[in-house]
Amino acid sequence: MSLQRITLKDFVIVDHLTLDLDGGFTALTGETGAGKSILIDALQLALGDRADPSVVREGQARAEVAIEFAATPDARVWLETTGIDGESTELLIRRTVDTQGRSRGWVNGTAVTATQLRELGTLLVDIHGQHAWQGLMKAESSRELLDAFGHIDTLPLQRCWTAWQLAKAQLAEAEQATSTSEAERERLLWQLTEADKLAPQPDEWTTLQEEHTRLANVVSLTEAAQTALALTSEDDVHAMGLLARAQQALAQRLHHDARFAPMVEALAQASLLTEETARDLQAYLRHTEADPARLAELELRLGQWMALAKRHRCALEDLPGVLSALRHRLAALDHATDLDGLREAVAQSHRAYAKLSEQISTLRHVFKEQLAIQITSTIQHLGMAGGLFEVQVTTLDKPQASGTDRVEFLVAGHAGMTPRPVAKVASGGELSRISLAIAVATSQVGGCPTLIFDEVDSGIGGTVAHTVGQLMAKLGQSRQVLAVTHLAQVAACAHHHVQVSKQASAAGVKSDVKLLTENERVAEVARMLGGSAVTEASVAHAREMLSHG
């Protein structure tokens, strides 16, 4: 058993509701308009369905849904992969929606996205809706059902398809652009040949400017250094001498006032710094001299740099990056015009796709027989005695991401009839029964611990309805099954019975859900049998149905 509790707050016409669930087959019933599908809608919302502000109860700020599951092994792996506690044996999933349609979701207290909720939901619940039969009309849906039945993973094939299509697109683009790219290639080659004569390096512009500034102002720089050196240590009255005299004057009076001590120390430090500065100035003057040849060389290179930057219409400091981009573009053109390489890439990706497609097609032919046998066996008990169900797998005119197979469901409603496409021969009632048979067949091999059937028994009745109830009860022996139903025959076969009711008051209409006792269950089945008028006969009939359910 997986789904343990559903809690709703201000959801549609529910103000507050908590429903505990057990394993086996649980029937959900109630009068028309009572909101039997509200629980299913809430469950789908909690598991990542689109957030709609209309689910917020009128007059409230937001709706909240919380569901509790016993964590399955697959769910624990998902928790660990997602970075949520993978050791937990329980799952608490909560989602809120406000009146603006904004939603938030949590799993075990950790915020998650709607996409993550959907991923987790596929591991926990399999929902079969009342219009599931509509999918039988589509070849794509038929293929998906067959793949689900056979646990055929088509994701690797889809990746091969994507790679093949991308390779074909690249080849087509290269073939179309060959002449254009050749002209552009020649232009790039000419531009780079001119640029390589200068060969500008990253950060070189700043270095060139700094060196040019120094050489262009070498006379004034030398004069400034000589003046500073003279004032520091060479003039008749210089800084070092004055500092020494000041230090000596204070040092001679230290024994009279100790507060002179830090001042003496500061003057000593100043003398040392001034001496070091004088040595630095002397070194600067020894190594600084005019260099007209280097200055001319710098001016020539700066001029060439500015001319090239102007030609490429870029900032001076951006020139190396622009030329690097041109080289990358030339390399890309050289690669793109490697038509032989691109053709080989197309061939390789096609071979990979064809190989995997053939393997998947073989699996589909194997499992189509198994699925046909199971569904044929099931429909014998659903008012189609002697009927035959077939799964036809043929080759498509053009390959697709899902492979080269077209899957179609064929049915013969009675013995002696030739199977024909479901969409052409089946009535609405037959479609519902076939859909139910497919749901039962695919559910038996599925991994989801909880199965939900939302009025899939529409359009049937009598002994067929009883058979449907027995099928769900049988599924309930190994899985948790919840079924929204309007048929007493189905509800009577359930292990548990939940009633949905609607009450009107001055505060408005609200829905309520309760797990029925045995006596309450008799009354509900009797109501389902006789409508609003519950008679002694309908009560007796209800007791008999429940005793044989």
pLDDT digits (tens, 9 = 90+) for 72-109: 888 888 888 888 876 778 899 999 999 999 999 999 99
At 402, the pLDDT band (50, 70, 90 cuts) reads very high
Q: Which of 380, 455, 447 is nearest to 132 (CA)?
A: 455
Could you tell me which CATH class the domain 1-130+455-549 is placed in?
A: alpha beta
pLDDT (mean) for 198-209 = 83
% of the chain exceeding 70 in pLDDT: 91
pLDDT (mean) for 374-391 = 86
Q: What is the predicted pLDDT for the residue at 391?
A: 92
The two structure tokens encoding residue 103: 């939603």
Q: Which has the higher per-residue pLDDT, 172 or 174?
A: 172
* Alpha helices, H only, 47-138: 73-82, 114-124
The two structure tokens encoding residue 48: 């990542």
Are 148 and 370 in contact by the 8 Å Cβ rule? The answer is: no
The two structure tokens encoding residue 104: 């938030």
pLDDT (mean) for 134-144 = 72
Q: What is the predicted pLDDT for the residue at 335?
A: 67
pLDDT (mean) for 253-266 = 91
pLDDT (mean) for 435-459 = 73
Distances from the Cα of 360 to the Cα of 164, 350, 438, angstroms:
17, 15, 21
Q: Which residues pair with 408 in a beta bridge?
A: 392
pLDDT (mean) for 169-181 = 77
The two structure tokens encoding residue 415: 């013995």
> Mind giving me the DSSP string for 353-374?
HHHHHHHHHHHHHHHHHHHHHH
Q: What is the predicted pLDDT for the residue at 364?
A: 96
Q: What is the predicted pLDDT for the residue at 1?
A: 52
% of the chain exceeding 90 in pLDDT: 29
pLDDT (mean) for 216-242 = 85
Q: What is the predicted pLDDT for the residue at 337?
A: 64
| pLDDT above 60 (res 132) | no
Q: What is the predicted pLDDT for the residue at 308?
A: 80
Q: Which has the higher per-residue pLDDT, 133 or 483?
A: 483
Q: What is the predicted pLDDT for the residue at 404?
A: 94
If you average pLDDT over every residue of the chain, what do you get?
A: 85
Q: Which long-range contacts (CB under 8 A, 24 or more apart) does 22-25 make?
A: 22/495, 22/496, 23/476, 23/480, 23/495, 24/473, 24/476, 24/477, 24/480, 24/481, 24/494, 24/495, 24/496, 25/472, 25/473, 25/475, 25/476, 25/481, 25/483, 25/493, 25/494, 25/495, 25/496
Q: Measure the CA–CA gap between 53 and 66, rounded to whole angstroms.
A: 17
Instruction: List the single range of 155-164, 377-386, 457-466 with lowest mean pLDDT.
Output: 457-466
pLDDT (mean) for 372-378 = 89
At 288, the pLDDT band (50, 70, 90 cuts) reads confident
Instruction: List the single range of 12-16, 177-181, 218-222, 391-395 with lowest mean pLDDT.
Output: 177-181
| pLDDT above 90 (res 177) | no
> Mind giving me the DSSP string for 245-299?
HHHHHHHTTTTT-GGGHHHHHHHHHHHHHHHHHHHHHHHHHHH----HHHHHHHH
Q: What is the predicted pLDDT for the residue at 95?
A: 96
The two structure tokens encoding residue 360: 């998947």
Q: What are the structural domain ranges in the chain?
A: 1-130+455-549, 180-336
Q: Measure the CA–CA gap between 423 and 114, rounded to whole angstroms.
A: 35
pLDDT (mean) for 199-215 = 82
pLDDT (mean) for 250-267 = 91
